Amino acid sequence: MMLNKKPLPDPYTHAVCNRFAAYRPQPVYYFLLIALIAISCLPGYTQPLRRCGAQQQDSLLKARNPAYARARAHLQELLSQPTAGNRKKAAQAEVTLIIPVVVHVIHNTPSGEMGGSENANITDRQIFSQLDVLNEDYQRKANTNGFNTHPAGANVNIEFRLANLDPQGRRSTGITRTYSTKTSYATYEVDKLANLAYWPSDQYLNIWVTRITGEFIGYAQFPDASNEPGLAEYNGLEKTDGVVIDFQNFGREGTASRGPYNLGRTTTHEVGHWLGLLHTWGDEDCGNDYCPDTPPAFGPNETLTCDQTTSRCSGVSTRNMIENYLDYSPDRCMNIFTQDQKDRIRRVLELSPRRKKLIESVGELLPEREALEVTVEKNPAFELLELQVLLKGAQPIHIEVADAMGKVVFEKNIASTRSGEFPIDITSLRQGMYFVRVRTPTESQVKRVLVL
């Protein structure tokens, strides 16, 4: 599973290249090794991509911050303790949990223009497509790959929503855009991204979308048990707590065109780490991911195909679960979270202090209505249309804004949602009359609004 992109220089690569440039071995059998290293140091050399740098990031954070290492180990101790299997726990697992998301787009486009094949300032529509993928995968929605292909898969019962309020309580679309003169960021530079844009990680899932230097296309920070008795409060790493995704692998349209990672599953994978899941091979040969119903695996699936593979661990051959979201398989192969993975995620949300506080910070959900009910108001202070949609249960909805001539100037498809608020940024709209239309599979409402 190798894709190529032209890497940008980073200090680790330069250190290796400079070291070997000064080295002159005499034995002939070193010639091939030196030739390969020399090629890799050429400016035009293309570096193979790998899906995930979370394990490398985790190792780096542990080395830099012993308090984090202790808090990570303590969380695993808590997760390993037996739980009482009762009806109350089973019922809680079927409650849909809401996670507010903020997407920080960090780009190098001085004009602020959005969209285009090489533009890290991706469109709102591309961001919406990624939220749809997350909800399809974590809710095992009907008529999606996870539902149709693997009927034994688990519904994790998590709904991801772009935040409609910022940390100051002001209306927001859940998307921030920040220009930077820096063109790309290495996996060890998440602190630089967080210094540009960050919302409290005990209230929001921060996702930074930018150009990533080097071989990885995404990474995440694992949960920990900081703030537990005897451990430091939040251990100083709360500001980098989130997920980073390369803009060319975020969502399933726009710049997300690099197969085989072009269907939004890199974010599904990294959010899985953010929720406490490990790779299916446990990041070592036949390692432990603490989910017994994922078969032991010798390593990741790094082929470009969905062909079945096997591993021989402890003298027993087993089929690899290459379709699991925590493998390295192409996006089109991925379609399952297991029941044990679901159970681990739900326990992390109870036991990791920042994750638990985030879930508890979600306000009371809006009420259901038997019939579609839409209200829309203009908020001149923040240049937003405040759209409230009340409906029955969870349904797909389509939102569009059209001008007086009928030209659609904004549209958004949501694969499934409950009653909620959906702020619409109107900074690009001219003065005049506009029509906001909301459709479900069976109902439709149109509201008129004047933009001044």
Report the pLDDT value the prediction gives residue 93, as an integer from 0 to 100: 62
Do the Cβ atoms of 217 and 266 come closer than 8 Å?
yes
Q: Does the predicted TM-score (pTM) go above 0.85? A: no
Average pLDDT over residues 375-379: 89
Q: What are phi and psi of 351, to 5 degrees?
A: -105, -25
Using only C-alpha atoms, the chain has a radius of gyration, in whole angstroms, of: 23
Sign, CA dihedral 174-388-397-136, equals positive
Q: For 433-443, how does the pLDDT look when each residue is reduced to its tens digit (9 = 90+)?
A: 999 999 999 99
CA–CA separation, 10 vs 50, rounded Å? 17
Instruction: List C-alpha distances in Å: 296 to 106, 292, 309, 313, 344.
Output: 38, 8, 12, 7, 17
Tell me, yes or no, if 368 is annotated catalytic. no
CA distance 321 to 153: 12
- What pLDDT score does 229 carry? 61
Mean pLDDT of 132-161: 88
Tokens representing 303 are 């082929």
Helix ranges (DSSP H) in 275-410: 339-351, 353-361
Region 61-79: mean pLDDT is 93
CATH architecture of 54-361: 3-Layer(aba) Sandwich (3.40)
Q: Work out the mean pLDDT of the chain and round it to a whole number.
A: 86
**DSSP-based three-state secondary structure for 202:** coil
Closest by alpha carbon to 261, among 338, 333, 207?
Answer: 333
Which tokens go with 447? 């509201």
pLDDT tens column, 288-320:
999 999 999 999 998 888 999 999 999 999 999
> Where are the domains positioned within the chain?
4-47, 54-361, 373-451
Q: How far apart are CA 172 and CA 88, in angstroms?
A: 36
> How large is the average pLDDT for residues 238-243?
96
Q: Is residue 394's pLDDT more than 90?
A: no
In CATH, 373-451 is 1.20.144.10 = no
User: Which pLDDT belongs to residue 362?
Assistant: 86
- Tokens read off for 221: 């920070």
Euclidean distance between CA atoms 67 and 62, whole angstroms: 8
pLDDT for residue 90: 57
444 - beta bridge partners?
439
CA distance 103 to 166: 12
Give CA–CA dist 424/434, Å, rounded: 13
| Equal CATH topology for 54-361 and 373-451 | no
Per-residue tokens: 32: 């091939």
Residue 45 in this model has a pLDDT that exceeds 80: no
More confident call, 311 vs 96: 311
Confidence of residue 364 (pLDDT cuts 50, 70, 90): low
Query: Which residue of the set 77, 270, 368, 370 is catalytic?
Result: 270
235: DSSP letter: G
Looking at the predicted structure, is the pLDDT value of residue 4 above 50?
Answer: no
Q: How high is the pLDDT of residue 1?
A: 35
